[in-house]
Amino acid sequence: MAGDFDAFVIKLSPQGTILASTYFGGGNSETGVSVASDSNGNVVLVGRTFSTDFPTKNSIQSTNAGSTDAFVFKFDSTLSNLVFSTYYGGSAGDGARDVALDGAGSPIIYGFTVSTNLSVTNAFQPQPGGERDAFVFKLSADGKSFIYASYLGGRGDESSPQAFGIYDGDEQINVDIADLMVDDDGAAYLTGQSQSSDFPLAAELLGTSSNRDQQAFVVKVSPDGKSLLFSTFLHSTAYDFGTGMALDRDGNLFVSGQMLWNRNPPVFPTTPGAFQKEYQGGELDGYIVALSPQARPPVNDNFINRTLLTGTRFTVLGDITQAGSEPNEPGHAGSPASHSLWWDWTAPLNGQLTVSTTGNELDTRLALYTGSTLETLVPVISNDDGPFDAGSSLVLDVNQGQRFSVAVDGNTGATGATLLSFFLSVPANDHFTNRIMLNQLPFTNLTSNTHATSEIDDPGGYISGRSIWWSWTAPTSTVVRVKVSSPDFQPVLTLYTNDTLATLQRLDTTYNEAKIAFHAVQGITYQISVDGLFGASGPLELSITPATPPANDDLPTASA
């Protein structure tokens, strides 16, 4: 062992016995991070080193150029003979994160840097984009020459507090969990995390802009390194990180990662039929995405093949690039159809629905319709531009069982990827001023207080915060029974009089049976609140019925 920390390689038999092992390092510290082997059993190891006397052979860079440099070395299958060993870095801090070999045994190395003077050749990005960038380079199988070397990144950081550190002087720079792999053609796939709104994108698959602090990217580099075959963000509403990848035999790419809940429950663009469509809680959730290597017409290009959507809060992904329009298709948001996609959604509850395509740069048109055939569609609401960007946004009150067809099109022929978000949020009668006015009894309402909120001066039945409201004026004096039930939580039912939230007078509150019977007085207006005990929420059913008077209620029908 030559320094405080050295890299090492161990070769094990299938039974787990040690066949060969060796240290590798200089007089300071090394960290081995990733290893790969070729068909002949040769081994390539990468990592980062502080040492200025790191052993080099057949190298592209024979000296340490900064505080830490990346290293690459290759042994034969016995771990006794060094094929090549080299530094790679600039005048600041650098570190290799991963390595993979192509079919010819050429190593491709992926890492992170704060250096502005890395060696580059045949680069798709010859200059650094910001203070902290990723890099990727490919060596010949003998390690004596570059095939390509390039920066990857924008003005923000392509690094975050994860995994391991590189150093700039005495300052440790933490870099992101990431992954690298190579396909049969020698193209390299990279995933990681970026904080750059100008991250280099090409043939975007899942979104075109960074509107958050941190988001995962997936990049495919051509075998010669001169171009990006595609580069895309994964586009959730959280802090997301790309951590792993795999290719199947058809060339489909699977990307795994994690999402960090930053300020709001994160929404990830799941596809129809996803195993888990919504965030389940906790600080972090994982994800997996499958990407196709070929452009195909979307399955929901035509109205008859519209994709079925379910739920109250979700985001789905679409790409209208290969989509077209149909004969008899209506114009969307006032313009002729050009590249439309279709979805089908039925409201599971009463509430206020927000549908939007905001969050990327594609200029969209969004429209909701009712009707079962393309020829009989009835427009409900549509929009060209949303309030913040080129996306579109719609807000409307919906009732349980209402079925809508949703069309997304590009404005003036625009094409690209889009996110379609649904949020059946605050119930229409969330606040007292929006209470539902009842005209007659009996009344039954299947609804939900999910996403309901409290308001200033809300008197609350018990510890509350999820109240929804109804109002009824008694046309005659009679006994009325009010009942609320829920399969998921214990509701709180409260009865009031008076017409403003600040002056409400409570008549009764119950949560055990959630039933109230009272004698309504003609002309008096009663306010009815349903909440969840200790802020609970979910589906509920409210019923209000007048009591049936006994047969001998009036003098003419008195019993003898």
- Residue 556 belongs to some domain of the structure: no
Asked if pLDDT for residue 549 goes beyond 70, the answer is no
User: Which region among 28-42, 256-270, 330-344, 346-360 has the lowest average model confidence (pLDDT)?
Assistant: 256-270
Let me know whether 58 and 175 are in one domain.
Answer: yes
Let me know whether 59 and 208 are in one domain.
Answer: yes
Let me know whether 228 and 326 are in one domain.
Answer: no
DSSP summary character for residue 219: E
Residue range 431-455, pLDDT digits in tens: 899 999 999 999 999 998 887 877 7
pLDDT at site 462: 53
Q: Residue 114, SS3?
A: coil
The average pLDDT across 6-12 equals 90
Handedness of CA 438, 488, 346, 316 (dihedral sign): positive
Pick from 221, 388, 374, 359: which is nearest to 304 by CA? 374
φ, ψ of residue 411 to 5 degrees: the values are -75, 130
User: Which region among 41-45, 81-85, 182-186, 463-467 has the lowest average model confidence (pLDDT)?
Assistant: 463-467
Cα distance between residue 179 and residue 161, in whole Å: 16
- Provide DSSP, 378-392: EEEEEES--SSSSS-
Let me know whether 213 and 362 are in one domain.
Answer: no
DSSP summary character for residue 442: S
> Of 424, 444, 477, at which residue does a domain stop?
424
The average pLDDT across 298-316 equals 88
Pick from 426, 518, 508, 431: which is nearest to 470 by CA? 431
- Residue 247 belongs to some domain of the structure: no
Let me know whether 440 and 417 are in one domain.
Answer: no
Asked if pLDDT for residue 559 goes beyond 60, the answer is no
Q: Residue 167, SS3?
A: strand
Let me know whether 327 and 205 are in one domain.
Answer: no
Within 330-363, strands assigned E span 341-346, 351-356
Cα distance between residue 263 and residue 237, in whole Å: 10
pLDDT at site 557: 54
Higher pLDDT, 251 or 162: 251
Read off the pLDDT band of 167 (50, 70, 90). very low
> Of 401, 424, 447, at which residue does a domain stop?
424
How many CB atoms are located within 10 Å of the residue 463 CB? Answer: 12
φ, ψ of residue 267 to 5 degrees: the values are -120, 125
The average pLDDT across 82-109 equals 94
Asked if pLDDT for residue 168 goes beyond 70, the answer is no
Decide if 319 contacts 298 (C-beta within 8 A): yes
Residue range 135-144, pLDDT digits in tens: 999 999 999 9
The average pLDDT across 548-556 equals 64
- Residue 554 belongs to some domain of the structure: no
Spatial strand order of the sheet with 228-233 comes to 179-182, 188-194, 215-221, 228-233
pLDDT at site 497: 96
Q: Could you give the count of Cα atoms lying within 13 Å of 50 in the half-sphere of its Cβ?
A: 18
Let me know whether 464 and 395 are in one domain.
Answer: no
Cα→Cα distances 100→72, 186, 252, Å: 12, 10, 18
Higher pLDDT, 227 or 263: 227
Asked if pLDDT for residue 511 goes beyond 80, the answer is yes
Asked if pLDDT for residue 178 goes beyond 80, the answer is no
User: Which region among 8-22, 32-46, 231-245, 370-384 has the lowest average model confidence (pLDDT)?
Assistant: 231-245
Asked if pLDDT for residue 206 goes beyond 60, the answer is no
**Count of domains in the chain?**
3
pLDDT at site 63: 93
Cα distance between residue 321 and residue 417, in whole Å: 7
Let me know whether 19 and 143 are in one domain.
Answer: yes
Q: Please, what is the average pLDDT of the chain?
A: 85
Let me know whether 360 and 410 are in one domain.
Answer: yes
Read off the pLDDT band of 535 (50, 70, 90). confident
Asked if pLDDT for residue 356 goes beyond 50, the answer is yes
Let me know whether 63 and 121 are in one domain.
Answer: yes
Higher pLDDT, 465 or 500: 500
pLDDT at site 336: 92
Read off the pLDDT band of 165 (50, 70, 90). very low
Asked if pLDDT for residue 209 goes beyond 80, the answer is no
- Residue 295 belongs to some domain of the structure: no
pLDDT at site 172: 47
Cα→Cα distances 210→194, 260, 503, 543, Å: 9, 16, 48, 48
Residue range 252-261, pLDDT digits in tens: 899 988 877 6
Instruction: Provide the domain limits for residue 445.
Output: 432-546
The average pLDDT across 88-112 equals 94
Asked if pLDDT for residue 548 goes beyond 60, the answer is yes
- Residue 213 belongs to some domain of the structure: yes
φ, ψ of residue 343 to 5 degrees: the values are -135, 160
> Of 235, 257, 276, at which residue does a domain stop?
235
Residue range 313-351, pLDDT digits in tens: 888 878 787 888 999 999 999 899 999 999 999 998 777
Let me know whether 458 and 409 are in one domain.
Answer: no
Residue 505 maps to which CATH number? Answer: 2.60.120.380
- Residue 473 belongs to some domain of the structure: yes
pLDDT at site 174: 45
- Residue 455 belongs to some domain of the structure: yes
- Residue 472 belongs to some domain of the structure: yes
- Provide DSSP, 412-455: GG--SEEEEEEEE-S-TT-SGGGPEEE-SSSEEEEEE-TT----
Let me know whether 70 and 190 are in one domain.
Answer: yes
